[in-house]
Structures are given as structure tokens and as C-alpha cells.
A and B are shown apart, each in its own frame.
Chain A
Amino acid sequence: MRLRNTWVGLLGIALATTLACGGSQETSSTSAKPESPSATPAGQKVDTATAGDVKGVAMIDGAVPKNEAIKMNADPVCMKENTTPQSQETYMVSADGKNLGNVFVYVKDGLGNYVFDTPTTKATIDQKSCRYHPHVFGIMVNQPLEIVNSDPTLHNIHAMPKGNAEFNNGQPIQGMKMNHTFDKPEVMVPFKCDVHGWMNAYVGVMSNPYFAVTDKDGKFELKSLPPGTYTIEAWHEKLGTQTASVTLGAKESKDITFTFKAAGATATN
């Protein structure tokens, strides 16, 4: 009798839960982790009067692999939004096929005890035409990230970090927005849409503001770096990472070239 009552109780709870959760018309949501209170760490601010720049280019050596074709026919909305043949954005190269875009370049080491303000301006990732825009980008720890669904179809945004908290949120209605903050540095955090398996993006979560993503000509620039010796890393979603060491004097500007190969990578400076 007790067992039967237990089952009846369980079923009752399940039924009540299901009925209590009606259709939702929410247009925004927040999934940010609660921020732990932390005192401002001791450290110095960057003196912009003596700061320099590091700029350069990411190149690809050898035959550029072909981007994988995408079939969007599982969702009529995606088909309507993309009338031409579609492919992945893995290898974005310049017209001459030598320079590589969508490479995340950042200062990995060498900043010592410099401290940086967390930007209050939002970074944005938009789900538009059944793609993520941008495909690769960076934000700072605790900087608000706004996630937008501009598509007239539904998406789920699924972040799969290793150090931060994983999340998976649905945005079924066009125009929905949500905010999220990452509380730990992590390069890179992958995003995917489990509805549309081809949709993926990557965000670099940084503790400093010295990061950039190479444009379609492979160019990047890290501005206002204080004098010092730095390890600069370049990351590509398929070709891996490579690093370069740069020593920067006051008001100095240095150039770096990262050369990725299909099977490995080298850096010169």
C-alpha cells in the first residue's frame, strides 16, 4: 500500500509540474552565474603615455582545406534565409588564399600585476540567418554578453566551457535576448546550437583587454600594451595554437606574423 501511495504521489508531482509549466512568451532571460564578491586586486594601471602596439597578420601555409558544406533543409526558415549553397566558416581566407581570418590573438602572459577595468558595454552574439555573428570573438571576464535571436525560427544557445559554468538556453521567439557573464578566463569557450548542428561559434574570455580577431585579410592589432615582454598566442578552431614572444619598449610598435600550416604551425617575429 505504501509503495502504491508512493507511485501515486510521484505521478501526481510529475503531472502537476507539467501542467504548471504552460507556454512561454518570454523575450529575454538571464543565466549569469552569481558573481562572487571580490576586492579589487592590488596592481597598477597601464600608463597609456608609454604604451605601444603589437600588430600583425595570420597566414596559412599550403592548400587551404575546403570548408564543409552545410545542408539547412531540416529547417525551412534557414533555407529561406540562405538561398545559395552554404558552408562552414572554419577557414576564412583572403582573396589570394594566404591570409587567415577568424584567428583569436591575445596576450597570454607577461602582464604581471596590471589591473584592468571590466567593460560595462555589452558584447553581442547574434543568431541570424541560422549562423552565429560573430563566429569568433573575445570578451573580458564579467563583461556582459548579450545573446540575441534575430531569426524567425528557434535556437538554443549552448555554451560548453571547461572552466566556467556550462549553460543551454532556448530562444524560441524572434527578438529574444538574454545576458550572460563568464566569471573565469577561458580560451576558448565553444558555442553550439543543438537544433541546427552546423551553427558554432567561439568566445575567448580574457582577464585583460589585449585580444583581437583577425579580419578576412588575416590582420590584427593589440593596442595600448605597456612596455614589457609578452607571450602572444594565436588560436584557430582547426589549426590549433601557436605562440610568439614579443618585447615591447615604450611607445614601440612591433609586428608579428603567425603562419599556420595544415599540419602544425610556426610563428616568426
Chain B
Amino acid sequence: MLHRFSKFLVACTVLLILAGSLVTSHDAGLSVPDWPTSYGWNMFTFPPSMWVANILYEHGHRLIASTVGFLTIIMAVWLWTADPRRWMRWFGVATLGSVVAQGLLGGLTVLFFLPAAISTAHAGLAEIFFCMTVAIAIFTSPGWIAGYDLNAGTDAAPPLRSIATTATILIYAQILVGATMRHTGAGLAIPDFPLMFGGVIPDHWSSAIAIHFTHRVGALLVTIAIFTLFTHIRSRYRDRPELTRPAALLVALVAVQVTLGALTVLSRRDPWINSFHVVCGAMVLTTSLVVTLRSWRGSFASTYQMEPQRSRSSQSQLVSDRAHA
């Protein structure tokens, strides 16, 4: 039940990220000028008849955020009272702390007229909170608790761990660059795609062009990292669906993500395409996180009493990985 609730929280967080990206995409961040009130009303009693034009996006974002915050409180309390793992209980508290901090950053960025630094931090922390909700869903899942491959000594897979961890960090860095690009108005600093001002590299530079260029280079690096991870899993962990499935999904998502990025430029930042680009980026990040966490499952072995689950071939593969390292 706790695991189901954690998945529900993940789904709500996806919706929250979509709502937040729609705010920025519609330039609606200051359409409700006060915080935590809305035009002087308590946020929860602000009349729906006033949710017009851009207010719909900003106020809707606040309401969804409040709902996710409330769900996170439930989640933290639930973990605190029901989960036997001490570190997991504190992880629930940390997740609640991140969503509170996220709400405060959201309020601050409104009160200070959307400074790029605070807005970018708001976007960056959103991804961390999303990762934490996904991590809770993973940590409370039957597969994780059972231990995917503990009898094989999962900490014997350093190449997979290194590749997956690197990919996840790269994706997060890429998202931060994207957030900086969004909140500094550099989304169309390079107006053409796939070329850049008609060439392979921009023929002139500004800070906005540099940020945009970095995001495109970042996309290339992330794509390479993801294909490397996918290839590694396909070649060495073919019989481990808990790795092959998210790896395949990751490849599909990055293809969609690159397409959405291109369409964002070509459509002159259509708000919905732009927003789905943000959401898809978050899903790329968390899918990579799933692979990464599962690759590190062995390090959590001492906190569980596990039953052997995996096949001998998987065991031998993990041993092989250790040998390669």
C-alpha cells in the first residue's frame, strides 16, 4: 500500500512539473503578484471565476504544489511510522524538507520578480524532489526489498554503477543548463536547428548563445551516455528486466526529448511543446536514476534480510563486471 501511494505521489509530481513548466512557458510567473496569498485571498479560497488567462497556470501550479506537499507530509509520516529502515524514515523527512524548500523558493521567486538565480534553483530543486519521490517508490518496491541480485554480490558491478551514475549526473547537469537557459531568456538565442546560425558552430557569441550552445552540446553528451548505458546493460544484463526495461525506456525517452527540444526551437517556443520538453527531461532523469539505484542495490544489502532471487547467469555476469573493473 505504501508503495502504491509512493507511485501516486510520483504521478502527482509529474503533473506538478508540467504545471510549473506551463507557468514559465506562458510567462505567467508573476500573474499572481502576491504569495502565499492570491490577490489577497487565501490560496484555497481564491474564487475559480478569477482563474482567467495566465492566472490559471500560476494559481493551478500553486494548488497542485500544495496538494503534492500535503501528499508528501502523508508519505513522510507513513514512512516514519511504518518503515523499519531508519535511513528510509529520515529519507522521507528529507523529501518533505525538499518540498517545503521548493515551496519557499517558488514564493521567493514571485516576491523578487523572478530573478534567474532563484527561478533556476526552483527548477533544479524540483528535479531533486522528483528524484526523491521516485527513489521512495523504488525503495518501497517489492523488487528492491527482495533484493534484485544480492546473492550475486551486486556491489560487484562497478562498470554499470559508474556508467549509470555518470549518466544520471550528466542528465541533471543538462537539466540545470536547460533551466538556466529558460530563466535567462536564452531559449531562442540560437534560432535555427539543427544548424546554428547556418553553421555547425555559432559564428558569433553572447552569454545567451553560450548557454544555449552548452545545452545543445549537453544533449549530445547525454545521448551518448544513455546509449553507452543501454549497450552495457544489453550486453551484460540481458536477463535482468529490472535493468533492461528502464534502459530501453531511457533510449525511447531521450529520442522523444531531443525531438521535443528541436521542435521547441522550430516552433519558436510553443508553450506546450516547451513544457513537454521539460517534463520529458525530468522523466529521462528519473529513469536513469532508477537504473542507477538498482545498480547500487547491493550496497544496501546489510539493511535487509534477503532471499536469493536471481539466476546464476546474472550472478556470473556481475562477477564478470567485478573482474572487468
Residues in A lying within 8 Å of B, measured CB to CB? 3-4, 7, 10-11, 14, 17-19, 21-26, 74-78, 153-154, 156, 158, 160, 166, 168-170, 172, 194-197
Contact = CB atoms under 8 A, between A and B. Distances in A.
Nearest to B27: A197
A156 B32 CA distance: 7
A4 B41 contact: no
Contacts of B54: 74, 194-197
Contact of B30 (A17, A154, A168, A196): A168
A156 B100 CA distance: 27
Nearest to B31: A194
Given A23-B45, A24-B41, A194-B30, A154 B97 contact: no
Given A14-B36, A154-B39, A169-B33, A75 B52 contact: yes
Nearest to B30: A194
B55 A24 contact: no
A19 to B, nearest CB: 7
Nearest to A3: B93
B30 A19 contact: no
Tell me what chain B mostly uses at the interface: helix, strand, loop, or mixed: loop
B42 interface: yes
Contacts of B56: 74
Contacts of B52: 74-77, 153-154, 195
A7 B97 contact: yes
B93 A7 contact: yes
Interface in B213-242: none
A78 B53 CA distance: 10
B68 interface: no
Interface of B: 26-34, 36-37, 39-46, 50, 52-56, 73, 93, 96-97, 100, 103, 113
A74 B55 CA distance: 10
A24 B42 CA distance: 9
Contact of B36 (A3, A11, A21, A75): A21
10 contacts: A4-B93, A10-B100, A18-B42, A21-B40, A23-B40, A24-B40, A78-B53, A154-B50, A156-B33, A170-B39
B107 to A, nearest CB: 10
A68 B41 CA distance: 35
B100 A11 contact: yes
B42 A22 contact: yes
A154 B55 contact: yes
A26 B208 CA distance: 42
A18 B50 contact: no
Contacts of A154: 39, 50, 52, 55
Contacts of A77: 52
A14 B27 CA distance: 27
Contacts of A196: 53-54
> A17, A77, A153, A195: which has the most chain B beta carbons within 10 Å?
A195
A1 B31 CA distance: 40
B33 A168 contact: yes
Contacts of B41: 21-24
Given A26-B40, A75-B53, A195-B52, A170 B33 contact: yes
> A7, A10, A160, A172: which has the most chain B beta carbons within 10 Å?
A172
B130 to A, nearest CB: 20
Given A7-B93, A158-B33, A21 B42 contact: yes
Given A158-B113, A195-B55, 8 more contacts: A11-B73, A18-B43, A78-B53, A154-B55, A156-B31, A194-B31, A194-B54, A195-B31
Nearest to A17: B36
Contacts of A76: 52
Contacts of A21: 36-37, 40-42
B259 to A, nearest CB: 27
A17 B96 CA distance: 19
Nearest to A10: B100
Contacts of A11: 73, 100
A70 to B, nearest CB: 12
B28 to A, nearest CB: 6
B53 A74 contact: yes
